[in-house]
Every structure is written in C-alpha cells, then in structure tokens.
Chains A and B, each alone.
Chain A
C-alpha cells in the first residue's frame, strides 16, 4: 500500500483529492494543520506528501523546511507537492526553496495531480 499524506485544512479539497487518490488505490493519511502533518509524517511510513501552503498554524513553507531537516530516515527525501490557494507573488519560488519538489496552485486540476502523483509514486492499481 502506498501512503500519501495530505496536509490541508479545507475539508472540500481534502474530500475531492482523497476521493481521486483512493480510487487509484492509494491510501490517504490526513492532517488538518502543520503540526499534525509533521507528527503524522514522523509516525507513519509516508511515500508522498501533498502540502497546502496556507495552513492555520505554521505555514506550508515551514512544514517543508522541518520535513527536510528531520532526523527520521528517508523522510527528508520524501517528495512534496506544494499546493497554494492562490499563486501569489513568489509562492512558487518560496515553495521550491523550502524543499518542495513541485508547485501547484488551486484550483487543482485533478488529471494533473494524478499525473504528478504517479510520477513520484506508481499507482498500486
């Protein structure tokens, strides 16, 4: 089973993305804020992280930085796809500098998301 961690506080986005990924055979772990996301990433075996940038506690950039400097074996190299509500100035640059691998802005084109996820973690189906 391939585990994808989605760190996102918006329930609509969470539902939409979870539905799509689950239908392709991935197992989706959820976190509603940055600290919860870091905690799940430490605790579980995660293959890919989808990271919303606008989170209610620490922002996604900080989450990415902390993930990249973690001591947990392998976690620092788990691919991160950053997702922002709006492509505001420098968001893409900041996300990549913080250690994310790919940047996407909402609305998330589901076909693109699926293609990008598959690019990192092959679909179990």
Chain B
C-alpha cells in the first residue's frame, strides 16, 4: 500500500510537497522545478532541492508526522514528488536506531547507536535515494533510466523502476557482489558488467545515456536521490526526540547520505523543529585502498584528486572521486568533523565483531564505521559520554563473497 498524505493532528495542509526551487550548489542559479534536470549546465555542480520551509513551519506539526503510516513518504512535504500517485513505495525508511551496549561498554562509550539501514527494501540505504529519484522520474514522464553502480544502487534502482514500470539499464563492475547482479536481473533490469571500477561504469553509462537518451541516475548527476537519503537525518532527529547526536560516523563513497543528512539538519534548523541546534561532527569513513576524501581533507583541499588504482573489498567505498567532493569536504569542515580510512582486514574483523557481540550482520561499509570509531576513541577524538551514531548501510548477507 502506498501511504497517502493524511491529516493526523496538524500534519497536513493538503499540499503534498513544498518543493519550491532547484538551486545549483556551486553558482546558486535557480532552475524550473517541473522540468527534467541533471546537474548545473553552467558550472556543472550538483543541483539541490529547496523547499518553502516557512510554510512547512506554519502548516505542519512535526509531532503529528509520527502517526502517519511508516516509511519515508510520511515526510512527503519535504520530498520533491508533488503528486502522491507517483510515490513508488516498497517499505523504505523508518529503519531501526539500535543501541550497541556490548561494544559500547567495551569501548567505554555510554551512548553508542547504529542506524541499521539494512532493513530497507533490497537490503540497503540505496533504496531511499532511488525511491525518491524513480518516483520523481515517473512524475516527470521519464521512461528509461540508467545507472552506474558499485552494487546496491543498481539493485535498488531495478526494484523501484520495475514497480514504476520504467525501463532500467545498469552498468556495474564485473566483480560486484553476485547478490547485486542477480537482484537487478530478477527485477527485470538489463545488466552490463564492466571490466573496471564504478568510474569506468560511469563512463560507459554516460556514453550510452547520451547516445540513446537514457536518463542518468548517477550519484548527484540528478537532484533527487539526495532527497530520499536526507530522510535518514529527519528520522534520527525524530527518534532522538528532536535532538541531534554529537557524532555521526558514515561510510563515504559517493557521499549522498552525508550530504543529504547535513541538508536535513539545515532544514530542521530552519523549521525550528530541533531542541538543540548543535550539529553533529560528521565523520567520513573510507578504505585505505580508496580514500580520496581523506587525502583531500588532510591536505586542506577543496576538491578530491582522482584516486588511482582504487581497491577495497567494501565495494561501496570504491569511488575514486565523488561528483559531490566539494560538498562533502565543506560539510566535514563546517561540522568540525574528520575523514578517516581503515584497512580491509580491520573491516572484516569489525564485521565479525558486530555480528558476534550485537547480533547484526553489517555490510563491509557499515562495519568500517566501527573500525573508524575504535581509532577515534584511541585518539581521544570522542568523549565517553557523547551520543554517537554509526551507519550500517546494508545487509552483510549481500556480500558473502567478500568473507575470507
């Protein structure tokens, strides 16, 4: 069932979305919200959705949103889809925020949590972004979509495209976890396996899109995936009784979730929905074998260099350069956060530890956040009483090939 806009309490003003403007994150130029857009044609930076937050504030009671049917779309006023008939819903959103009592105790931390995104459809956080992007694509009349992917985004796009009756074409590295390849095919997508990395897949998908008119859903090359991801930030605030944690530790490949959550915090602050306006320190976690953000952060650079010979078993972290690198670096600095890289053996060890001690089988990318946390505790970058949220971005079961 698709959750329809409801009027519980003061939750609805009858308006499905308060999407008002589309703004270039680089040069600030505004674009028509009812037309199909990719990225800024002038400066080629990502475009970001802006909402009429003044009217959301006037008409929406944040506490009444809890009473809507579960899922990402209960935040529909703050999402870009204007007609509820276009919500493509598979159950995404409202994932658990679980405490990690045993690991917390071992590390001397009193408030350690994990946002477990493996509960999403297709077993990863990618469902959120693709739910928003495919729904908006449907609304804009797009009939065929293409994506380069390290794995989970392809599976998610295939599932949502199938439900929206949109044709899907996926380019993924040939060593992508088998689960991602098969789930995409099962959902009816055409899958092209590429001898290379996601950047190679992006190159080929880009050429195909240009030649045959496929709409490219690459990270940040369209404006709506980040909107789905940002709801992770809204859910966090709501679950923590409209406060924000002190530290968020997030595995960063393309960085949509990091940028999305920061956007959510800005919107929440503008809406006046938060009790504390102190933003979390954002921690970007990458792998030693592909750490462009870590390098740029440490060098004080505004953009990342393309990472040569990228390699890590955490396929979601094998992104040699994010299209949103400037935004990611800006957020890390604004939040007084940090970027940190971890080794593959440590990721595997953390994966087992989270399973053994807390009963959660995380994706390698999610496990990487625990390794990063351990380093930060050792460096005394984190205080024992701080509220810390790790992000497990996917289901470990999808990566059985990487267990050695």
Contact = CB atoms under 8 A, between A and B. Distances in A.
Interface of A: 16, 20, 84-93, 96, 102-105, 107-112, 115-116
Contacts of B195: 89
A10 to B, nearest CB: 12
Given A109-B44, A111-B26, A87 B203 contact: yes
Nearest to A112: B303
Interface string B270-309: 0000000000000000000000000000000011011011
B302 A115 contact: yes
Given A87-B203, A89-B200, A102 B44 contact: no
A111 B42 contact: no
Interface in B4-56: 26-27, 39, 42-45
Which 5 pairs of residues, A with B, have the shortest CB-CB distance? A86-B203, A89-B196, A110-B43, A87-B199, A107-B44
Contacts, number: 73
B26 A109 contact: yes
Given A85-B206, A103-B305, A111-B45, 8 more contacts: A86-B203, A93-B308, A109-B26, A110-B27, A111-B27, A111-B326, A115-B302, A116-B303
B197 interface: yes
A87 B44 contact: no
B204 A86 contact: yes
B44 A86 contact: no
Contacts of A107: 39, 44, 221
Nearest to B203: A86
A87 B306 contact: yes
A104 B39 CA distance: 17
Interface residues of B, number: 29
Contacts of A88: 196, 200, 203-204
A104 B306 contact: yes
B316 interface: no
A101 B325 CA distance: 20
B303 A110 contact: no
B257 interface: no
Given A107-B39, A109-B45, A109-B326, A86 B196 contact: no
Contact of B206 (A86, A91, A111): A86
A59 to B, nearest CB: 15
Contact of B207 (A86, A92, A104): A86
Contacts of B123: none
A91 B326 CA distance: 22
A115 B303 contact: yes
B253 interface: no
Nearest to B200: A89
Nearest to B198: A87
B39 to A, nearest CB: 6
A105 B306 contact: yes
Nearest to A86: B203
Given A89-B195, A110-B43, A111-B45, A102 B204 contact: no
A108 B42 CA distance: 10
A14 B401 CA distance: 45
Tell which of A86, A91, A110 has the most Cβ of chain B within 10 Å.
A86
B202 interface: yes
Nearest to A109: B44
17 contacts: A16-B42, A85-B207, A86-B206, A87-B202, A87-B203, A87-B321, A88-B203, A89-B197, A92-B308, A93-B308, A104-B306, A109-B26, A109-B44, A109-B45, A111-B27, A112-B326, A116-B303
B181 to A, nearest CB: 19
A61 to B, nearest CB: 15
B376 to A, nearest CB: 29
A109 B309 CA distance: 22
A105 B302 contact: no
Contacts of B45: 109-111
A21 B309 CA distance: 31
A88 B171 CA distance: 13
B255 interface: no
B177 interface: no
B260 interface: no
B200 A108 contact: no
Nearest to A95: B306
A103 B54 CA distance: 43
